[in-house]
Chains A and B, each alone.
Chain A
Amino acid sequence: MTRTLWHSTVGKKAVMAVSGLIMLAYLVVHMFGNLKIFFGPDTFDAYAHWLRTIGEPFMHYEWTLWVVRVVLVAAVVAHATAAYQLSRRDLRARPDRYVHRRPRASYATRTMRWGGVILGLFLVWHLLDLTTGTVHAGFRPGHPYENVVATFSTWYGNAVYLLAMLALGLHVRHGFWSAAQTLGAGSRTRDRLLVTLANLLALVLTLGFIAVPVGVMTGLVS
């Protein structure tokens, strides 16, 4: 079954849909957690600490977090590999352009590939910035509130983040609806619901994530 799926365009797209939905579910939770920054450093840092204790005493300190990380890395790798392979195939299948050009499909649809690449690059930067602190001057492990405020006190920190969140909104807008079609859940009668849900998810995620840098910029969070 795995072979049938991975070796066909339809099946590989299903892998993209499932991995995309896994990441999407994570992002909704992540966005929600981020909003705790508006309740001050104690709440936020305590929340970050609690994340490491989920599942105790059955799970040891940080075990649950590592399970989540492994699943997410697997999802990102599967998603990006399938995206790369399918995109190469798509470009090969249409080698000659029409002389008479016209814009095809919606903006969100046309930006899936570049938007995806932007998201991938952002992901690397984001981890190096706020998880490992590699590219973060004066990073203090265990003090996420301080680190977040420091990141969004730089112009490039804000610029990178805002751009990535716009890309995320567009990606989710087309992605969520697409995943429903890929997995066979769409239909004529259910389409309005799915389109509305996709737009709502995109909007809520983008606004929710952007609220944090805007909070720092306006001095609401400091």
Chain B
Amino acid sequence: MRLTLRVWRQKNAGADGAMSTYEVDGISPDMSFLEMLDTLNEELILKGEDPVAFDHDCREGICGACSLVINGDAHGPERTTTCQLHMRSFEDGDTIDVEPWRAAAFPVVKDLVVDRSAFDRIIQAGGYITAPTGSAPEAHATPVPKPDADAAFEHAECIGCGACVAACPNGAAMLFTSAKVNHLGVLPQGAPERESRVLDMVAQMDAEGFGGCTLAGECATACPKGIPLFSITRMNREFVRAARKAR
């Protein structure tokens, strides 16, 4: 495949960025999107140019490090992570636009790499349980109803990639935060911090400069793990409940 890439290039956080155009040839449809970028970077390095910086780690769809907006869609045209997106989703001769996540709370570090540490601070604000853990407990010691276990698993799938923020017209982190709040909130192990968790995590989310939810639904469409929009509804319910109980 022969492709034209228009890639966001930005030297550092302070510099102005712009789209740069590159041609790549000899791309196999079986390559992942990141392998295609590796091919481009090899050529750039051979030419003595600065390779395109982008985030990646596991390359198997579980770590949440990869993060590209491809032709206006977070993680590109398929509902998966960029590392699991294959070039067969594109046509020979296509022009592809590649941009970083855009949100005030996710400043660009270089090229396509953004700083997502705001997510870490939201987790620090309440995305944990306070019970001492240690080795795995006996599985039947704390019974968990099946529907609750299913709901917890569904929300636990969030890999913290930030596609929801990138897709949201308000740069809101509601889907991510709600996935974390609900994941722990429905389990008996997370019950002691049920109220403080949602209040503290939402407060941190606001403090980081994320926007608010207007129920546009773009986040849930972009989420590679299928976290549902109703996750936000559930967090809203938890929040109002906790605010009523708070003294």
Contact = CB atoms under 8 A, between A and B. Distances in A.
Partners in one complex: yes
Interface of A: 1, 4-5, 8-14, 86, 89-102, 104-105, 109-110, 112, 174, 177-178, 180-188, 191
A7 to B, nearest CB: 8
A184 B240 contact: yes
A102 B76 CA distance: 13
B212 A109 contact: no
Contact of A93 (B103, B199, B215): B103
Interface string B224-239: 0000111011111111
Given A93-B209, A93-B210, A94-B170, A174 B72 contact: no
A109 B214 contact: yes
Given A12-B212, A93-B171, A93-B210, A1 B230 contact: no
Given A89-B212, A93-B210, A187-B233, A98 B102 contact: yes
A185 B213 CA distance: 16
A112 B243 contact: no
Given A9-B212, A181-B215, 13 more contacts: A10-B202, A14-B236, A90-B211, A91-B211, A93-B104, A93-B171, A94-B169, A99-B6, A102-B72, A109-B217, A178-B215, A184-B234, A188-B230
Contacts of A174: 215
A8 B213 CA distance: 11
Nearest to B245: A1
Given A12-B212, A90-B172, A99 B236 contact: no
B213 A183 contact: no
B105 interface: yes
A53 to B, nearest CB: 38
A4 B205 CA distance: 14
Contacts, number: 138
Given A1-B244, A89-B211, A97-B102, A184 B237 contact: yes
B193 interface: no
Task: Identify which of A90, A112, A185 gathers the most chain B CB atoms within 10 Å of its CB.
Answer: A90
A104 B69 CA distance: 14
A99 B71 CA distance: 9
B97 interface: yes
Contacts of A112: 214
B54 interface: no
B213 to A, nearest CB: 7
B69 A105 contact: no
Contacts of A100: 69, 71-72, 97, 99
A97 B72 CA distance: 10
B209 A92 contact: yes
Given A10-B236, A99-B19, A186-B233, A94 B215 contact: no
A104 B216 contact: yes
Nearest to A184: B237
Contacts of A95: 104
Interface in B27-73: 69, 71-73
Interface in B172-196: 172
B206 A105 contact: no
B217 A105 contact: yes
Contact of A99 (B97, B167, B206): B97
B87 to A, nearest CB: 18
Contact of A14 (B104, B232, B240): B240
A105 B217 CA distance: 7
Contacts of A5: 240, 243
B157 interface: no
